[in-house]
């Protein structure tokens, strides 16, 4: 199986192009659908030789660990979500390679072979430097690929503050699309000709003008109605320019910590911005699926192509599973499952189909008068 899936000569990139063309048929231009950009960590404590894995500080678990960074693009509407691109970022070894070159630098080269070996090391160092791509650069490549294929011409983009970068937002805007992002509380905005932190602006508004926060009823992606109190204004932000910001509270007394959203769509109102932001969460569901069910953190594939093929197949598995029939016992059918079948119910349905096919085969064999040993040999050859 390993040789057939991960070593056989099939084109991973071409398969993803066909996958995006297929799932695009599930998204109507007349309904809202949004592309979410994000990244996550794939932990491999026992796999230091896996491509992209490096021991470094893990800000999620607040400790040193081995992991590689996985970048994702997920499209979602109200009914489903599909992975459009999954890339793994190569580890950055520039500092270690430079330290090695400096430590092994000889005074002179008496032999031609030594000079050629040193030149090979320098060329490899420069090649690795040029090949390395930051998260933002990789996500820009993903956006450019999606827009070049034009399978989702009506989909805007959403991402959190860890992804929001001036270079990425500029590329999205140049493609004629809009984006919504969350910004950190320490982001500076130009407030009455003075640069201030956005959380300081929110505190000033709560104290001096609480009526500036208006009440809105938001119908989120999952269909739930949510009441928020929001203030919005077009302000200038450092690095990304003039954008519309939204300060959101979920309590009427404004006592809860606010959420800060920003978008390039200056003409959008609060409801549209908040609804678009609710489409950011399907990427987290996709991350949990790929890690928990597809085994991205359990696989021991080492070389670059095998790791990327595993990521590619996880996208296909996620989409195929959503098209599977829903089944499950009464104990598994929750109140919300009538409209939103869970992944467990989908897997349960596939398991029932597999068991049913096995039982039908056994029944037909017994009907022909075969013994238990003969049926067992058919089903599980020795």
Over 60: is that where the pLDDT of 337 sits? no
- For residue 120, report the phi and psi dihedrals to the nearest 5 degrees: -65, -40
Tokens coding 194 = 């003075």
Calpha distance 212→236 (Å, rounded) = 19
Question: What are 144-186's pLDDT values in tens digits?
Answer: 999 999 999 999 999 999 899 999 999 999 999 999 999 999 9
- Residue 296, pLDDT score: 82
State how beta strands 179-182 and 259-263 pair. Answer: antiparallel
Share of the chain above pLDDT 90, in %: 52
- Residue 107, pLDDT score: 76
- Residue 82, pLDDT score: 94
Per-residue pLDDT averaged across 69-86, rounded?
Answer: 93
Spans of all domains in the chain? 2-92+132-322, 96-131, 330-379
Over 80: is that where the pLDDT of 7 sits? no
| Burial class of residue 293 (count of CB atoms within 10 Å of its CB; 0-12, 13-18, 19+) | middle
- Residue 56, pLDDT score: 87
Question: What are 193-232's pLDDT values in tens digits?
Answer: 999 999 999 999 999 999 999 999 999 988 889 999 999 9
Most confident range (mean pLDDT) of 12-21, 93-102, 300-309, 367-376 is 12-21
State how beta strands 81-89 and 63-76 pair. Answer: antiparallel
118 pLDDT band, cuts 50/70/90, is: confident
Question: What are 48-77's pLDDT values in tens digits?
Answer: 888 889 888 888 788 899 999 999 999 999
Question: What are 295-333's pLDDT values in tens digits?
Answer: 888 887 788 888 889 899 999 988 888 887 666 555 444
Query: What is the average pLDDT score of the chain?
Result: 88
- Residue 114, pLDDT score: 83
| Burial class of residue 40 (count of CB atoms within 10 Å of its CB; 0-12, 13-18, 19+) | buried
Q: Report the run of H or E that residue 311 belongs to, with start and end.
A: helix 304-322
Q: Are 68 and 89 in contact (CB under 8 A)?
A: yes
Q: Are 30 and 6 in contact (CB under 8 A)?
A: no
Per-residue pLDDT averaged across 94-103, rounded?
Answer: 86
Calpha distance 220→228 (Å, rounded) = 12
The class that CATH gives domain 2-92+132-322 is alpha beta
336 pLDDT band, cuts 50/70/90, is: very low
334 pLDDT band, cuts 50/70/90, is: very low
Q: Are 318 and 289 in contact (CB under 8 A)?
A: yes
Partners of 262 in the β-ladder: 181, 245
Tokens coding 215 = 């009440």
Give the 3-state secondary structure of 273-303.
HHHHHHHHCHHHHHHHHHHHCCCCCCCCCCC
């Amino acid at each position: 199986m390993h040789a057939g899936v991960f070593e056989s000569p099939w084109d991973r990139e071409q398969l993803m192009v066909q996958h995006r063309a297929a799932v695009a048929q599930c998204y109507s231009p007349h309904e809202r659908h949004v592309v979410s950009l994000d990244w996550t960590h794939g932990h491999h404590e026992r796999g230091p030789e896996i491509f992209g894995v490096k021991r470094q500080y893990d800000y999620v678990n607040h400790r040193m660990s081995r992991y590689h960074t996985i970048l994702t693009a997920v499209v979602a509407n109200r009914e489903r979500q599909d992975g459009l691109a999954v890339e793994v970022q190569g580890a950055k070894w520039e500092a270690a390679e430079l330290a090695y070159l400096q430590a092994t630098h000889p005074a002179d080269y008496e032999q031609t072979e030594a000079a050629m070996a040193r030149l090979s090391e320098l060329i490899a160092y420069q090649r690795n430097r040029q090949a390395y791509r930051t998260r933002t650069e990789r996500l820009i490549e993903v956006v450019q690929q999606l827009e070049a294929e034009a399978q989702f011409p009506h989909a805007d983009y959403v991402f959190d503050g860890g992804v929001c970068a001036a270079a990425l937002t500029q590329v999205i805007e140049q493609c004629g699309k809009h984006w919504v992002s969350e910004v950190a509380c320490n982001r500076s905005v130009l407030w009455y000709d003075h640069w201030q932190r956005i959380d300081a602006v929110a505190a000033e508004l709560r104290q001096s003008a609480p009526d500036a926060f208006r009440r809105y009823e938001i119908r989120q992606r999952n269909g739930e109605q949510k009441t928020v109190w929001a203030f919005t204004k077009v302000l200038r932000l450092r690095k990304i320019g003039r954008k519309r910001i939204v300060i959101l509270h979920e309590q009427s007394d404004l006592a809860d910590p606010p959420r800060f959203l920003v978008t390039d769509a200056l003409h959008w109102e609060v409801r549209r911005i908040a609804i678009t932001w609710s489409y950011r969460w399907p990427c987290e569901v996709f991350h949990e699926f790929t890690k928990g069910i597809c085994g991205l953190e359990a696989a021991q594939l080492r070389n670059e192509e095998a790791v990327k093929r595993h990521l590619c197949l996880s996208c296909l598995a996620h989409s195929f599973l959503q098209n599977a029939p829903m089944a499950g016992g009464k104990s598994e059918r929750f109140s919300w499952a009538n409209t939103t079948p869970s992944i467990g119910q989908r897997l349960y349905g596939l398991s029932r189909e597999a068991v049913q096919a096995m039982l039908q085969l056994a029944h037909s064999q017994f009907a022909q008068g075969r013994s238990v040993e003969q049926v067992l040999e058919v089903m599980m050859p020795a």
